[in-house]
């Protein structure tokens, strides 16, 4: 049976379904050598190409949905590459053969915490779609005076540039998070993933967000033992919890080994990997800076 082209491309790991719709509309996809547009349906015996490169047709039955939980540090961007040379969230992830990791939503460069990745584009699309109402919880430190009237407005809904928005719940957690003076910590929950939505909601009330961290996505909480820059792959039970949440069939396979004893000192292993990557980034950045300085000196002499 035929399937929508964007759905097949997303499942093959080329990106989210929404992104694939954009790629198709831009005329970057061909089927059997002919550039096609949105609305095209395809079958497994057809040849798909994106930007001239052949895309392997992955059927729904043969797809293994894998999900990673990553503890994003501040300073990393949610793109595969960055022209400014900034660290990206994809650099630390395990390499894949025949597919690639797709981020389930994004966190801006100044936001840290829980970020999910998957190999299944259709699953990523459903998890991100507002209609699914998957909860995201953030710990946020506010600089400024906050009163009950402000909190009520944020719960009832305020108008932003891209429409009305609100928090499903707001809970002060200043004591446990160490807030003092006019710095207060709150835990907020919403079900959308609009750009900088949490920050913009607070800023609409005349206060500033001085720190922001995502601590939960759906029922998955950020593991306090997972260091920043570290990742862990979810087991079959956790994956199927999310798939049920977005009305997708249960996964029957997992790449997580459950037939062996858990590796000892897992956290120590993760920390070693994070440290090794950080040292590599530091070394390459220093080398690039030296080259830039040398080039500048040469130009000055010339």
Contact 198, 98 (CB under 8 A): no
Q: For residues 186 and 110, give the distance between their C-alpha atoms in angstroms, rounded to a whole number.
A: 17
Note the pLDDT of residue 57: 87
Among all chains, which residue has been given the structure tokens 């500033």? 208
Rounded to two decimals, the pTM is: 0.75
Identify the DSSP state of 77.
Answer: B
Note the pLDDT of residue 176: 46
Residue 230, C-beta contacts closer than 8 angstroms, at least 6 positions apart: 70, 71, 92, 270, 271, 273, 274
Among all chains, which residue has been given the structure tokens 């970057």? 28
Q: How many CB atoms lie within 10 A of CB 194?
A: 15
Note the pLDDT of residue 260: 42
Please list the active-site residues.
108
Note the pLDDT of residue 59: 80
Note the pLDDT of residue 264: 45
Domains of the chain: residue spans and CATH: 3-62 (3.10.290.10), 67-245 (3.30.2350.10)
- Burial 138-174, CB ≥16 within 10 A → b, else e: bbbbbebebeeebbeebeeebebeeeebbbeebeeee
Contact 121, 14 (CB under 8 A): yes
Q: Are strands 34-35 and 29-31 parallel, antiparallel or unpaired?
A: antiparallel
Sequential pLDDT tens for the chain (302 residues): 789 999 899 888 787 788 899 999 999 999 999 999 999 999 999 999 999 999 988 887 777 889 999 999 999 999 888 888 899 999 999 988 767 899 998 999 999 999 999 988 889 889 988 888 899 999 999 999 999 999 999 999 999 998 999 999 999 986 444 455 678 899 999 998 888 999 999 999 999 999 999 999 999 999 989 999 999 999 999 999 999 999 999 988 887 765 444 444 455 656 665 665 566 556 555 655 565 556 556 555 65
Note the pLDDT of residue 229: 94
Residue 10, C-beta contacts closer than 8 angstroms, at least 6 positions apart: 16, 17, 19, 20, 102, 120, 121, 122, 124, 125
DSSP per residue, 5-44: HHHHHHHTTSS-HHHHHHHHHTT-EEETTEE--TT-EE-T
Q: What is the largest CA-CA distance in the chain?
A: 68
Among all chains, which residue has been given the structure tokens 């010339």? 302
Contact 210, 160 (CB under 8 A): no
| Helix segments in 189-265, DSSP class H | 197-203, 236-245
């Amino acid at each position: 049976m035929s399937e929508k082209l964007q759905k097949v491309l997303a499942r093959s790991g080329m990106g989210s379904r929404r992104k694939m719709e954009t790629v198709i509309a831009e005329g970057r996809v061909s089927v059997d050598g002919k550039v096609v547009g949105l609305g095209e349906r395809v079958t497994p015996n057809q040849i798909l190409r994106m930007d001239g490169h052949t895309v392997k047709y992955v059927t729904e039955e043969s797809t293994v949905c894998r999900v990673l939980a990553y503890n994003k540090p501040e300073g990393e961007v949610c793109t595969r590459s960055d022209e400014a040379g900034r660290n990206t969230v994809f650099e630390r992830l395990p390499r894949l053969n025949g597919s690639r990791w797709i981020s389930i939503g994004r966190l801006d460069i100044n936001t840290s915490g829980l970020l999910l990745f998957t190999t299944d584009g259709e699953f990523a699309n459903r998890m991100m779609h507002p209609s699914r109402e998957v909860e995201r919880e953030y710990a946020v430190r506010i600089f400024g005076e906050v009163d009950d009237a402000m909190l009520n407005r944020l719960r009832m809904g305020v108008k932003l540039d891209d429409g009305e928005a609100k928090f499903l719940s707001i809970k002060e957690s200043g004591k446990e998070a160490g807030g003092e003076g006019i710095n207060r910590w709150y835990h907020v929950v919403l079900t959308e993933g609009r750009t900088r939505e949490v920050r913009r909601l607070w800023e609409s009330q005349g206060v500033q967000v001085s720190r922001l961290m995502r601590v939960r996505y759906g029922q998955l909480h950020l593991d306090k033992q997972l260091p920043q820059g570290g990742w862990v792959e979810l087991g079959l039970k956790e994956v199927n919890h999310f798939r049920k949440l977005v009305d997708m069939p249960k996964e029957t396979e997992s790449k997580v080994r459950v037939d062996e004893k858990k590796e000892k000192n897992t956290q120590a292993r993760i920390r070693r990997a994070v440290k090794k990557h950080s040292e590599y980034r530091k070394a390459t950045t220093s080398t690039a800076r030296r080259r830039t300085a040398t080039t500048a000196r040469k130009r000055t002499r010339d």
